[in-house]
Chains A and B, each alone.
Chain A
């Protein structure tokens, strides 16, 4: 049995589970499954062994640091790890060995995690799935012919398969929530400003969010608590006290806005996805919440402002290499970045005007609700070779809206579709209500039974 982080930490605290044994269990699953999943692009067995031994020593001495002490994790390979290769899954950074940990990596290290290695990503969190990079793309553990979504593809696959109990992701247009949805796990894009991005390779400065992915919302809360907090070196980091999350908050009296138009009109989702959203609303109702329909601006408006913003900002990050050595990128990323280079300053400013308007309208439309509910992905994972290069331009996604707004948004698994692969819902909150969002996810997961099934 693969424990959750909450279960493993309780067992470790009670001296009923050895961190070294827990690490060895993950190592054994990596040994048998990673060649099919491509979730890890670098394993760090010596580091894992030393981290686990240190945690075990603290366990024996009664000096455990907290709930993450001795928990096996992995980092998306855009997170800098001191002395450990960090490539962005790209030939551009093939030999990059950072001298410092990203701020969030350091926070987890201080909390006592066991680092199992670095995880696959779409190239620089934007280009994938790609087959022309130094490492192959991650595969979905529910069916290895299928896509994990991205860009936190390795984290999604590794958590779902139990190769790690949790890991880092980053989310600029849905890169935590997409893979969480298609791999059947939980993942939260926190409020903008809650987690430091220092030491994480940027994609789009005003949309990038760092956040955790794990099997359950409760585990995401444990991981997020340990990675949140003000960082003066990140201009986007908010100077607020570090949060403490209570996932057992009561849902009675809460008001939930169902953004039906997003998944029924602006785009359409699979029958199983729709059923999962309706069941999620029903569970929240049974727990005492009031569910009402809410109309936000259309996904088309959010996507237009979102993709112009993302493309323009990504171009500024990669402009130098795009001019000097474009062929070192994979084809998918090269093409997506080039598109950003074709935008004008006027295009970008128009997108920011639209963004401000969307924020104003969204706050007004959701003024009398605490939470929002819609889809997180359109359906089950497609075959990995069927993913179009320009999917985002052809059909609006249901995630980038909340990057533009900066509001916390959580993917939870709601069950499985006709193809036997996971389907998901997205629970969204107002800024700094990350704890309430996670509590709602935890409440639904306890009732919907989807956490009982592993790939």
Chain B
């Protein structure tokens, strides 16, 4: 499981969401957020080509893909 974000980074994330919670709840949430990030890592595997998703209408050629990976 990932480590919890540093408190300052987490405060920034909370501010971006526009959520203000009592301090004790923020600390509890910071640790829960690490567990959620663990779940997010499971979603980062390469997605299959999906005909219904507009983001998949352009395929990068194999040579370009390899060059990009080598960089």
Query: Which residues of chain A have a CB within 8 Å of any CB of chain B?
Result: 300-301, 303-305, 307-308, 311, 322-323, 326, 331, 334-335, 338-339, 341-343, 347, 350-351, 353-354, 356-357, 360, 389-390, 393-394
Contacts and interface: CB of A to CB of B under 8 A. Distances in A.
Contacts of A389: 28, 32
A350 B50 CA distance: 12
B43 A326 contact: no
B40 to A, nearest CB: 6
Contacts of A303: 39
12 contacts: A304-B39, A304-B43, A308-B36, A308-B43, A311-B36, A323-B18, A334-B25, A335-B32, A339-B36, A341-B17, A389-B28, A390-B32
Contacts of A353: 43, 47-48, 50, 53
Contacts of B48: 353, 357, 360
A360 B48 CA distance: 11
B33 A339 contact: yes
Nearest to A327: B22
Interface in B21-52: 21, 25, 28-29, 32-33, 35-36, 39-40, 42-45, 47-48, 50, 52
B8 interface: no
B1 to A, nearest CB: 10
B42 A301 contact: yes
A350 B33 contact: no
Contacts of B20: 326
How extensive is the interface on chain B, given as a class?
Answer: 20 to 34
Given A338-B29, A341-B19, A347 B35 contact: no
Contact of A331 (B25, B42, B43, B52): B25
Nearest to A396: B39
A101 to B, nearest CB: 34
A394 B50 CA distance: 31
B17 A342 contact: yes
Contact of B47 (A304, A326, A350, A390): A350
Nearest to B10: A342
A37 to B, nearest CB: 30
A390 B19 contact: no
A357 B19 contact: no
Contacts of A356: 50, 52
Interface string B49-62: 01011000000000
Nearest to B31: A390
Given A323-B18, A331-B25, A338-B21, A305 B33 contact: no
Interface of B: 13-14, 17-21, 25, 28-29, 32-33, 35-36, 39-40, 42-45, 47-48, 50, 52-53
A322 B19 contact: yes
Given A322-B19, A342-B14, A390 B43 contact: no
Contacts of B44: 350
B39 A308 contact: yes
Contacts of B17: 338, 341-342
Given A304-B39, A342-B17, 8 more contacts: A304-B43, A307-B39, A335-B21, A338-B21, A342-B14, A351-B43, A356-B50, A393-B35
Contact of A394 (B25, B33, B35, B40): B35
A394 to B, nearest CB: 7
Contacts of B50: 353, 356
B50 to A, nearest CB: 6
Contacts of A351: 43
B2 to A, nearest CB: 12
Which of B19, B28, B35 neighbours the largest number of chain A CB atoms within 10 Å of its CB?
B19
Given A335-B29, A339-B29, A304 B40 contact: yes
Contact of B42 (A300, A323, A394): A300
A307 B13 CA distance: 19
Contacts of A394: 35
Nearest to B33: A342
A331 B28 CA distance: 11
B32 to A, nearest CB: 5
A241 B11 CA distance: 51
A389 B35 CA distance: 13
A308 B9 CA distance: 21
A342 B21 CA distance: 13
Nearest to B47: A353
A-B interface, 5 closest residue pairs, ranked by CB to CB distance from nearest: A341-B17, A353-B47, A304-B39, A393-B35, A304-B42
A326 B13 CA distance: 17
Nearest to A351: B43
A58 B28 CA distance: 57
B35 A390 contact: yes
A395 B7 CA distance: 25
Nearest to A305: B43
B36 A393 contact: yes
Nearest to B26: A338
